[in-house]
Amino acid sequence: MLPAFEWKGKSLLLLDQRLLPWEEKYLKLKTLEDVAESIEKMKVRGAPAIGCVAAYGVVLGLKEGKSLKECVERLSKTRPTAVNLFWALQRMEELGNNPVKAEEEARKIEEEDYQGNLKMGDLGSELIPPGVNILTHCNAGALATSGYGTAVGVIRKAWEKGKVKRVFVDETRPYLQGARLTTWEFLNLGIPTTLITDNMAGYFISKGKIGAIVVGADRIAKNGDVANKIGTFTLSVLAKEYDVPFFVAAPISTIDLSMEAGEEIPIEERAREEVLYINGKNIAPENVDVRHPAFDVSPASHIAAIITERGIAWPPYERTLRELVK
């Protein structure tokens, strides 16, 4: 599996995820601005990967002679919803203006994320009932992390244990992370994969074809409400209605105990063009009004369990998440 990013000491190699699955091209990022722009333009995306890459962005900024404050301010403005970004920046801030320590810390964040993914895979795969089709949304795989994946990590581990028949992947409009990235990952792993459009999920769930849903997260509030890619909420409602276990896999760095509930989580609104065009091709009248919230919130009451590297949180989440975080 190609890594989403690779630290080279003086630069950060970044797989341009906008080009996948057609082209596998690495960009060489040398400056703070290169990194900030890559996050904004979603050349790199996925909450944990954004956190790791931002940490290396601070290292590059300090090496350029920029102040720590300048680095943190610029990177904080890139994307608002994934709390892993702010969590990583806070870790970097605590070290002061020290490029050597900053580099050590960024490497540590990356390694911890990878190890955490493996742990989530081990723990989460135990929750998957045997012989099921699993549905996932967006991309919470190796490309969205420092490798292996959160939701995809759980699914691939469950597959290795012989529990998974097939994975259904929502295409994930409008950015198509499911169609372009998650199918690419599962096919590379040799896991039987079926791509569906987002509006087909209800059909397959209502026909009893889906035995579990596993998704990632961008921010988890104190009460267990989960912000994730737009469309996740709809799946959580379907899961509740049809009694399908709905699991969220995310590292501790995605839990934000400063937010009481999901309604406090800032939801990114992205450009209208991302809805109006697919691969540069216009699909609707240019002058139509467009909305593009990039995330939604699934209520804690729809979530069967939250899988973290430190253990599984079960309802009531207010207590179990606090115990895992402390």
The residues annotated as belonging to the active site are: 218
Between 51 and 61, name the residue whose CB sits nearer to ligand MRU. Answer: 51
- Binding flag, residue 147, ligand MRU (CB under 6 A): no
State whether residue 28 is helix, strand or coil: strand
Here the tokens at position 256 are 């934000």
- Binding flag, residue 153, ligand MRU (CB under 6 A): no
Between 66 and 145, name the residue whose CB sits nearer to ligand MRU. Answer: 145
- Binding flag, residue 4, ligand MRU (CB under 6 A): no
Here the tokens at position 173 are 């409009």
Between 149 and 245, name the residue whose CB sits nearer to ligand MRU. Answer: 149
- Binding flag, residue 150, ligand MRU (CB under 6 A): yes
- Binding flag, residue 82, ligand MRU (CB under 6 A): yes
| Cβ–Cβ under 8 Å, residues 248 and 220 | yes
- Binding flag, residue 45, ligand MRU (CB under 6 A): yes
Question: Of 46-54, 122-130, 185-193, 196-204, which part binds ligand MRU (CB under 6 A)?
Answer: 46-54
- Binding flag, residue 48, ligand MRU (CB under 6 A): yes
Q: Is beta strand 12-15 parallel, antiparallel or unpaired with respect to 26-29?
A: antiparallel
**Looking at 20, 191, 238, 294, which residue binds ligand MRU (CB under 6 A)?**
294
- Binding flag, residue 146, ligand MRU (CB under 6 A): no
The footprint of ligand MRU on residues 236-275 (CB under 6 A) is none
- Alpha-carbon span 228 to 223, nearest angstrom: 15
- Alpha-carbon span 94 to 73, nearest angstrom: 14
- Binding flag, residue 47, ligand MRU (CB under 6 A): yes
Sign of the Cα pseudo-torsion (20, 144, 124, 318, in order): negative
Which residues are CB-neighbours of 289 under 8 A, at least 6 positions away? Answer: none
CB of 323 to ligand MRU, least distance (A): 23
State whether residue 255 is helix, strand or coil: strand
Strand segments (E) across 61-177: 132-136, 164-170
Which residues are CB-neighbours of 51 under 8 A, at least 6 positions away? Answer: 82, 84, 85, 87, 88, 109, 113, 253
Contacts with ligand MRU: how many residues (CB under 6 A)? Answer: 17
**Looking at 229, 233, 246, 317, which residue binds ligand MRU (CB under 6 A)?**
229
CB of 67 to ligand MRU, least distance (A): 28
Between 66 and 298, name the residue whose CB sits nearer to ligand MRU. Answer: 298
**Looking at 3, 7, 15, 46, which residue binds ligand MRU (CB under 6 A)?**
46
- Alpha-carbon span 307 to 125, nearest angstrom: 10
Here the tokens at position 185 are 């990952």
**Looking at 78, 228, 236, 298, which residue binds ligand MRU (CB under 6 A)?**
228
Q: Please report which helix (H) or strand (E) contains residue 185, including its range.
A: helix 183-189
Here the tokens at position 130 are 């045997």
Closest residue to ligand MRU: CB criterion: 216
3-state helix, strand, coil in the chain (%, to 5): 45, 20, 35
| Cβ–Cβ under 8 Å, residues 150 and 114 | no
The footprint of ligand MRU on residues 86-145 (CB under 6 A) is 138, 140, 144-145
CB of 10 to ligand MRU, least distance (A): 27
Chain residues binding ligand MRU by CB under 6 A are: 45-48, 82, 138, 140, 144-145, 150, 177, 216-218, 228-229, 294
